[in-house]
């Protein structure tokens, strides 16, 4: 049945995208059947409910969706499992800011009412992020959507915690952690954002006890922590300080006696080679303190304010104390000098506040035993990173892993499932909500802290499939097939998922990890709102269509390279969508209402152009499929772009016009059939990256049933019987001839309305025979008349010469060209080309350029140089040809 709908002149992206997304979702095309064979599964990196789509998200979901749609068309039960993250610290921050505008804080509301307010906020903004994902065409199975704080995932979190606790892999201890004074919570090491900050290096004198006028000088960037110093440290091999190793120093201002310890950790090259040891406010000093049995004296409280141990500086902020203590040290003549100094300072990755290392009681996961199987899984290839270079970064972190601080001092999140007896002091982990102690039957209270957001995220590949219940989804889709994610969460998320998957599922959570490139602006700078160079994906999609944005992002995705995105590239993608639309209109407008295609097979008598386009299409299918199988997204897009625009539209469609408008009924029907078959295949190849426009075109093609959706159509299979080297060779020669004639016409500025006369001289007789059979193709697309062909033809008078594939081209210019004027213009153009060549060559001669320039810049210049050299050479030959008439 033919339910073909007419295709309008202009493509309306906004209407089309809404229509087809609703159609796909309504018909359940996103939902696979776990009972059927060939499962393929990916889990979405869950976006924060606080968030909005930025270009990194747009890239990630584009690549996910390309693979999902491809595997679905290949016949797999493809599940792309969606969900969102409760984002503990980030979400609580946003809601607290909202409360502040109302003149409230969370403590006034109380824990229960505050959590209710966060849930209200989550419900509102969750719908926003899901709507944004859908607007980009994400074919997620929304019937299986999960939330890291939903009932099922909460049960999984408790199960994992209790098992790890009972095995002794979770413990509570006093340890130094990175503390955010703004969020008032601990954050893990990998949640600290280190950035270079301009500061000062203060050289402070510590008086040596019993030696008036003698000092040890210490260089520090944090004078405010001097108040918490408990020792000085020197390297045992540092000859400068051998004589003072057993002496005592006096802590400036405070007057406390301190010893001098020796440790190989001290760097003799930094500052003066003497280190102040402040165990309560420095990670490395904490380890030194443990090793040498030193006390830890905290002088800064959890709000970033100096505490009672700071003496006269108590109540000041860290910054205020720094200024005050420097002034005090100056007044005591204990500052030797101050130098400008830039160094790396840790900041909270959520609110950008400078973190403060503090000693506090926290919950930790022992990581060494969990890390070893995860290291082995990558070493053995059970988990494969793409590109492979990320293996090294993964191993470096895993081999030096520290215990994971999993407790957070906030309210929004999975509450630590540990209960304390108010009678006997016993504490235990429990999956439920016990009221009484299992030892003495006393009343219990639950731990106030919540778990790090990444604790629940680490369970994502199996908790989302129903674990700890043994569901049909879990049995079918675990382990998942591939994870697509950004490099900056390899440690936050990827490594932890591998560890937890191996621990609780006894298998890796995914077989492949594709690390996406970073999206930068056209000049290679990182996109950010503050820099003013961010491109809003939703705004771009509204203006130019989601397909255009998706196509541009995938086009630029090359393994191992950052993406340099510009509006020009997105507009080029939009132009390509228009090309597809117009080509489809051309094909459909040239079909009769009752058109029925003939069956095409190797026995069908097809013309040269038909055999060529069928051969090229089948090879395109093979190459595009291989590229997607290997996650070479940019290559996949380039392959179909080159075929659609460079071969189907620019060549085959143009050649088909003669058969459609002047051919016999049989020639016309065969050409129509080839056009329809190739267009159908093109639309299928393009669907994963441009789903909306292709579904719209698909439903306008002939012989399509109303319910025959493109999204679930069969992916084209490459049929090698159509591969035709001979037809491709002949067409290549014809194309080269046409290109050379076009080049001559363009360089001589011959009007497109003029039909020029051409003679062809062949160096080989067999070449002549093949080309002469298809002169019509050349005349049609080169806008010329072939007036003579011969073997070893001599150059006639009044002609310019071109040569390609052993064929001399003589274009007659008499009456078409002012020779003197053209020579003057061409010589001027040739001079400019040569200057451009010389400028690039000089750049390559500079060693600094090759050593420091980005590889993509070097490659771009190399390609441009090659093109300029070819163009200059061709132009020189043309000039010589005109002069030698």
How big is the CA angle at 149 (ends 137 and 94), to the nearest 5 degrees?
A: 80
Residue 825 tokens, joined: 């213009």
Residue 550 tokens, joined: 């998706």
As a whole number of angstroms, the distance between CA 386 and CA 390 comes to: 7
As a whole number of angstroms, the distance between CA 134 and CA 23 comes to: 12
Token pair 């102690």: residue? 437
H-helix or E-strand containing 67? helix 55-73
Using left for φ > 0, alpha for ψ between -120 and 50, and beta otherwise, residue 749 falls in: left
Residue 735 phi/psi, 5-degree rounding, is -60, -40
| Alpha-carbon distance values, 296 to 173, 253, 405, 409, 503 (Å) | 15, 18, 19, 22, 36
Q: Can you list the positions of beta strands (E) in 29-72? A: 39-43
| Cα end-to-end span (Å), the chain | 64
| 3-state SS, one letter per residue, for 278-304 | CCCCCHHHHHHHHHHCCCCCCCECCCC
Q: Per the annotation, where are the binding residues for ATP?
A: 529
Helix or strand or coil: residue 442?
Answer: coil
For strands 427-429 and 418-421, give the pairing: antiparallel
Helix or strand or coil: residue 658?
Answer: helix
Residue 276 contacts residue 226 (beta carbons within 8 Å): yes
Closest C-alpha to 790, from 819, 825, 761, 822: 761
As a whole number of angstroms, the distance between CA 121 and CA 108 comes to: 18
Q: Across the chain, which distance is largest between two alpha carbons, in Å?
A: 114
Closest C-alpha to 192, from 409, 405, 45: 405
Residue 208 phi/psi, 5-degree rounding, is -85, 125
Token pair 């393929």: residue? 40
C-alpha 257 chain-centroid distance? 55
For strands 215-220 and 407-408, give the pairing: unpaired
Residue 126 contacts residue 49 (beta carbons within 8 Å): yes
Look at the alpha carbons of 520, 523, 524, 529 in this order and tell me if their dihedral is positive or negative.
negative
Crossing angle of helices 633-641/546-555, nearest 10°?
110
As a whole number of angstroms, the distance between CA 179 and CA 554 comes to: 40
How many CA atoms, within 13 angstroms, populate the side-chain half-sphere of residue 738?
21
As a whole number of angstroms, the distance between CA 171 and CA 453 comes to: 18
């Amino acid at each position: 049945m033919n339910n073909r709908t007419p295709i309008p002149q202009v493509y309306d992206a906004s209407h089309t995208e809404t229509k087809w997304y609703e159609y796909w979702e309504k018909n359940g095309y996103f939902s696979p059947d776990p009972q059927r064979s060939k499962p393929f599964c990916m889990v979405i990196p869950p976006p924060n409910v606080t968030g909005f789509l930025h270009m990194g998200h747009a890239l990630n979901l584009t690549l996910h969706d390309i693979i999902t749609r491809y595997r679905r068309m290949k016949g797999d039960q493809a599940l792309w499992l969606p969900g969102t993250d409760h984002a503990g610290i980030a979400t609580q921050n946003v809601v607290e800011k909202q409360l502040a505008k109302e003149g409230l804080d969370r403590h006034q509301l109380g824990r229960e009412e505050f959590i209710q307010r966060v849930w209200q906020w989550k419900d509102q903004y969750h719908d926003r992020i899901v709507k944004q994902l859908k607007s980009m065409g994400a074919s997620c199975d929304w019937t299986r959507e999960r939330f890291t704080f939903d009932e099922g995932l909460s049960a999984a979190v408790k199960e994992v915690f209790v098992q790890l606790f009972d095995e002794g892999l979770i413990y509570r201890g006093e340890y130094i952690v990175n503390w955010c004074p703004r969020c008032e919570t601990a954050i893990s090491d990998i949640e600290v954002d280190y950035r270079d900050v301009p500061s000062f290096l203060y050289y402070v004198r510590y008086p040596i006890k019993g030696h008036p006028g003698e000092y040890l000088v210490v260089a520090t960037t944090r004078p405010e922590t001097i108040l918490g110093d408990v020792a000085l440290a020197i390297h045992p091999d540092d000859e400068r300080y051998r004589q003072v190793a057993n002496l005592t120093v006096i802590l400036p201002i405070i007057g406390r006696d301190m010893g001098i310890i020796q440790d190989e950790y001290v760097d003799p090259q930094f500052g003066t080679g003497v280190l102040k040891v402040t165990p309560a406010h420095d990670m490395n000093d904490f380890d030194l303190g443990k090793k040498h049995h030193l006390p830890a004296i905290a002088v800064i409280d959890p709000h970033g304010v100096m505490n009672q141990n700071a003496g006269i500086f108590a109540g000041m902020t860290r910054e205020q104390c720094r200024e005050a203590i420097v002034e005090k040290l100056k007044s005591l003549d204990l500052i030797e000098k101050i130098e400008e100094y830039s160094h790396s300072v840790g900041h909270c990755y959520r609110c950008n506040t400078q973190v403060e290392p503090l000693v506090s009681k926290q919950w930790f996961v022992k990581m060494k035993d969990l890390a070893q199987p995860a290291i082995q899984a990558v070493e053995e290839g059970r988990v494969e990173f793409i590109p492979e270079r990320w293996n090294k970064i993964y191993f470096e972190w895993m081999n030096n892993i520290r215990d994971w601080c999993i407790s957070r001092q906030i309210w929004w999140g999975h509450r630590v499932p540990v209960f304390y007896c108010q009678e006997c002091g016993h504490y235990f982990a429990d999956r439920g909500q016990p009221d009484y102690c299992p030892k003495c039957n006393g009343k219990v209270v639950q731990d106030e802290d919540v778990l790090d957001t990444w604790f629940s995220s680490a369970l994502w590949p199996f908790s989302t499939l129903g674990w700890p219940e043994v569901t049909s989804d879990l049995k079918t889709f675990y382990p998942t097939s591939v994870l697509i994610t950004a490099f900056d969460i390899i440690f936050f998320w990827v490594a932890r998922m591998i560890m937890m998957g191996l621990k609780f599922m006894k298998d890796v959570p995914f077989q492949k990890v594709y690390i996406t490139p970073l999206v930068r602006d056209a000049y290679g700078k990182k996109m950010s709102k503050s820099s003013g160079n961010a491109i809003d994906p939703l705004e771009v999609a509204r203006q130019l269509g989601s397909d255009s944005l998706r196509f541009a992002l995938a086009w630029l995705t090359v393994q191992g390279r950052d993406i340099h995105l510009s509006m020009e590239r997105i507009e080029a993608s939009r132009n390509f969508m228009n090309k597809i639309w117009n080509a489809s209109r051309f094909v459909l407008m040239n079909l009769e209402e009752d058109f029925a295609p003939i069956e095409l097979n190797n026995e069908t008598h097809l013309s040269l152009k038909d055999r060529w386009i069928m051969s090229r299409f089948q090879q395109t299918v093979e190459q595009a499929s291989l590229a997607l199988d290997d996650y070479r997204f940019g290559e996949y897009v380039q392959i179909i772009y080159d075929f659609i625009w460079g071969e189907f539209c620019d060549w085959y469609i143009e050649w088909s016009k003669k058969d459609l408008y002047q051919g016999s009924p049989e020639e016309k029907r065969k050409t129509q059939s080839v056009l329809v078959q190739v267009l159908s295949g093109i639309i299928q190849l393009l669907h994963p990256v441009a789903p909306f426009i292709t579904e719209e075109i698909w439903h306008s093609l002939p012989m399509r049933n109303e319910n025959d959706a493109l999204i679930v159509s069969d992916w084209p299979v490459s049929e090698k019987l159509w591969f035709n080297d001979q037809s491709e060779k002949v067409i290549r020669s014809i194309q080269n001839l046409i290109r050379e004639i076009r080049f001559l016409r363009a360089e001589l500025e011959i009007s497109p309305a003029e039909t020029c006369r051409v003679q062809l001289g062949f160096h080989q007789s067999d070449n002549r025979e093949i080309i002469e059979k298809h002169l019509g193709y050349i005349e049609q697309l080169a806008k010329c008349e072939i007036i003579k062909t011969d073997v070893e033809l001599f150059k006639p008078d009044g002609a310019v010469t071109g040569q390609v594939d052993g064929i001399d081209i003589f274009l007659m210019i008499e009456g078409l060209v002012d020779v003197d004027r053209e020579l003057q213009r061409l010589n001027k153009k040739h001079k400019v080309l040569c200057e451009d060549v010389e400028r690039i060559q000089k750049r390559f001669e500079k060693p600094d350029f090759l050593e420091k320039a980005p590889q993509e810049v070097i490659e771009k210049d190399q390609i441009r140089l090659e093109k300029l050299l070819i163009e200059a050479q061709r132009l020189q030959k043309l000039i010589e040809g005109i002069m030698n008439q």
